[in-house]
Amino acid sequence: MSKVKTLKEVLRATKAARKAGKKIVATNGCFDIMHVGHIRSFEAAKKLGDILVVGINSDASVRTNKGDLRPIISERDRAEVVAALAAVDHVFIFSEKTPFSWIAKLRPHIHVKGVDTKKHPDFSAQKRTLAKAGAKFVLLPLVKGKSTTKIIEKIARHYGKR
């Protein structure tokens, strides 16, 4: 069975897991070009609970958040790559700009993001949404020098002049 599901399927699976006493951990992001920072984040998130759910921004949502030149990798491919990781249990694609609506439905025990989330304009609203959902908000340190934007910039520098 594929780890890539609809939100409805994820909600059904996590409801059953919750009844079985499992701790649900969630995270979200674009995960446009996978790098070691993403991998370490998923592994750290998984250690906080039993079931790791990853919400992936749709292509349209990424464009809204990151600009017209993104994403580089399609939503289906990004979801499949994330689903291939051992730490990840369920993956779904969401089309909203923010994860607020699905967080309220999923009600994870813990929601994990990178510490850079503090700089996001929606940070306070995200904290309120998580508090209403009864979720603990865990901010993980970033891996220095590792980001999709930096990878794109390096590729452009090295190969853009050809």
In a domain, 1, yes or no: no
Give the domain range for residue 111: 7-159
On the 0-12 / 13-18 / 19+ scale of CB atoms within 10 A, 80 is middle
Q: Is residue 40 part of a domain?
A: yes
* Within a domain: 107: yes
Question: Does pLDDT of 39 surpass 90?
Answer: yes
Q: pLDDT band at 160, cuts 50/70/90?
A: confident
In a domain, 130, yes or no: yes
What per-residue confidence (pLDDT) applies to 141?
92
Average pLDDT over residues 138-160: 90
Mean pLDDT of 5-27: 98
Question: What CATH number is attached to the domain comprising 145?
Answer: 3.40.50.620
Give burial (CB, 10 Å; 0-12/13-18/19+) of 30.
buried
**How many domains, in total, are found in the chain?**
1
pLDDT at residue 78 greater than cutoff 90? yes
| pLDDT tens figures, 128-137 | 989 998 999 9
pLDDT 10s digits, 101-132: 999 999 999 999 999 998 888 889 889 989 99
Q: Is residue 100 part of a domain?
A: yes
User: Could you tell me which residues are beta bridge partners of residue 71?
Assistant: none
Alpha helices (runs of H) in 48-132, residue ranges in sequence order: 59-66, 75-83, 100-106, 123-132
Q: At residue 162, does pLDDT exceed 70?
A: no
pLDDT tens track for 59-71: 999 999 999 999 9
